[in-house]
Chain A
Amino acid sequence: MKLTTKTSLSFISLSTIFFLIGSVFMYFAVRVILAEDLSSRLYQMQGNFIDNINSKNDISNASNQHIFINESFEINTTQFSDTVLIENDKYVLYRKICFYHNIHNEIYKIEILQSQAQTDLLIWRIVILNVALAMVFFLIIFFLNQISVRRGLKVFYSTVSKLENFNISKPELMYFENAEIDELKKLTEVLKKMSLKISSDFNEQKEYTENVSHEIQTPLAIISSKADELLQSENLKKEEMEQLEIIMNTTTRLAKINQALILLTKIDNRFYTDISVISIDKIIHEKLDFFSDLISEKKIILTTNICNILDFKMNRYLADTLFLNIIKNAIMHNNISGSININLEGNILQIMNTGPKLLNKENIFKRFVRSSNKDSLGIGLSIVKRVCNFYFIDINYSFDKVHRFNLNFKDEKKLL
């Protein structure tokens, strides 16, 4: 819900509640005022009536439709009350003054009635008019509010859309409009500072990871080359050679782990921000071609069932990494003469392969969780998972005679 709608709605609902309470209050207040007015009129009528009788000295003809005269035995105090008469089959509310008068030594109870229909009607008219005016007033306020808030927040919306397109490696492209409103001015100033800070942090981090990579890989290159050189010497004992081989193996492994961890860090640090349109259907064939020698050497039966084209916006390098790793995984952990089955239907890619059952399938995407294949680092699938998370691609693994990976390219913003 938009801020303007939200504030307007709460404004209107609160006002309506207060207005309703006020209307009820007003209704009763008007009633009281009008009742008082009626009472004073009845008093006046009482005065007129008494004057009239006194001047005529006769009460016999004084009664009419709204004046009732009855004999009474006692004198009570003057009283007001409400009463209902049936006139033309309609109930009509009347206000009544009841008083006692002594004439020719006889006591009469005199009731004078005054219709309240007029005042009732008046009250209702006032209330309806009031409600109508208030509604019009609210509507006008609502629209004026919307317009003014929208105008005031124009800079805010443009800032938000700029933030959406924020490219961490190109902070200079961030240009915020100057806002008139102090709060927004403050916000854009903070955002300007923050975007510059983020970019400089990002660049430092980037430089750091690159340096780490460079600085560690080079000594490793020297160690393994030296070991390789030593291995070429004549007259080495078998054990010595074996130890040199272990040094080379371990060094290579270390270099691989280093590279993989750097890649994971880079993905996390949003290093790969260039986006291009990747045809998932094409890239699958491309990567299968890449591994075709290995597939045929392992005598793997490959079936692909690609029902549709699927274009997805992602970084080219990460796409290569994702598909190389997941297809490599399907070949590497497969049996000789096994099978790989790849289906693409709608937004869902399914990769199934035969292979020995895993003991621990919960940890399949975790780092350094390896199968029995000691030559795998156990990091490929964790890279796959990381790339998938990065692009909100749902990935899950199940095992039912075959290993099955399901990838759902569900992010509509990235689909074409």
Chain B
Amino acid sequence: MHSKNKILLVEDESSLSKLVVKYLSDNSYICTHVSRLKSARELIKKNSYNTVLLDLGLPDGDGLSLIKEIKQKDYTCGVIIISAKDGLNNKVEGLDLGADDYLTKPFFMPELNARVKSLIRRLNFEGNNEILIGALKVIPDQMRLVINDCDVELTNSEFNLLLYFTSNKNRVLSKTNLAEYMSSKYFDYGFSDDVIYGHIKNLKKKLEKSGAPDYIKNIYGVGYKFIV
């Protein structure tokens, strides 16, 4: 990821759009925002984007129709549907049409960030990518963590949490945010603070044992921060 990734946001809710644009720009993406399908179509024709964030219910039509056009033009352009519309039904339809991911509103910005990152990684490196962060080498597709050339055994939950932390480094991730992220992987399985705390405690222990610095800081009463 040498050059900045370009993201197109198609969303008609202006206050949410501002938040997303600001957040993604802060995270060194170039984010363009349009609120109509028509303008989105024109932009897609002229420019190439790494990812399109697509709302479904737009004033001038259903976003689903855009997915095909995007994918036909540039297969490496990822599409993430962001919608408040009822999950599974639209999700299945959207994914069938070629969307890469689906995020239901409301979502936390770090989660959006994690999804965009993982999607760009997936599309650009075709699965052979590694994330190097501090002393850690994370290989998402093999669910492997390597520290000092040694593999560290992590459970799926621990690995998912670590991936989420690395995607949102130097940022306070609240307990709610972490629980939501984990829950969304398991059909809103209600992860309690205790369970999240347990997983993070184990993750910290394993990192410490492998000789990595203590990256995960506990922000008391609020959540955690992955500091590199």
Q: Which residues of A come within 8 Å of B, CB atoms? A: 210, 213-214, 216-218, 220-226, 228-229, 231-232, 238, 241-242, 244-245, 248-249, 251-252, 255-256, 259, 262-263, 266, 290-291, 293-294, 296-297, 317, 320-321, 324-325, 328, 331-332, 373-377
CA distance A394 to B31 in the complex (A): 52
Q: Which of A214, A226, A291, A375 contacts B192 (CB 8 A)?
A: A375
Contact A328 to B186, CB < 8 A, known contacts A218-B84, A226-B19, A229-B19: yes
* Docked-complex contact A291 and B57, CB < 8 angstroms: no
* Docked-complex contact A245 and B176, CB < 8 angstroms: yes
* Docked-complex contact A256 and B188, CB < 8 angstroms: yes
Chain B, 174-198, contact with A by CB distance < 8 Å: what is the 0/1 string? 1111011000001111111100000
Assess whether B29 is interfacial by the CB under 8 Å rule: no
Q: Which of A229, A241, A297, A375 contacts B219 (CB 8 A)?
A: A241
Q: Which of B13, B88, B221 contacts A218 (CB 8 A)?
A: B13
CA distance A222 to B109 in the complex (A): 10
Q: Which of B85, B107, B109, B222 contacts A229 (CB 8 A)?
A: B109
Question: B174 — which chain A residues lie within 8 A by C-beta?
Answer: 228, 231, 244-245, 248-249
Question: B171 — which chain A residues lie within 8 A by C-beta?
Answer: 232
CA distance A251 to B222 in the complex (A): 15
Contact A245 to B221, CB < 8 A, known contacts A213-B85, A375-B191: yes
**Interface residue tally on B, bucketed by range:** 35 or more
The binding surface of chain A is classed by DSSP as helix
Chain B residue with the shortest CB-CB distance to A296: B155
* Docked-complex contact A293 and B189, CB < 8 angstroms: no
* Docked-complex contact B189 and A252, CB < 8 angstroms: no
* Docked-complex contact B86 and A266, CB < 8 angstroms: yes
* Docked-complex contact A217 and B190, CB < 8 angstroms: no
18 contacts between A and B (CB under 8 A): A214-B84, A218-B106, A222-B16, A222-B106, A228-B108, A228-B110, A228-B174, A229-B23, A231-B172, A238-B221, A241-B219, A249-B176, A252-B180, A262-B86, A296-B155, A321-B88, A375-B192, A375-B193
CA distance A76 to B223 in the complex (A): 131
* Docked-complex contact A231 and B222, CB < 8 angstroms: yes
Assess whether B3 is interfacial by the CB under 8 Å rule: no
CA distance A290 to B156 in the complex (A): 12
Q: Which of B104, B190, B193 has the most CB of A within 10 A?
A: B190
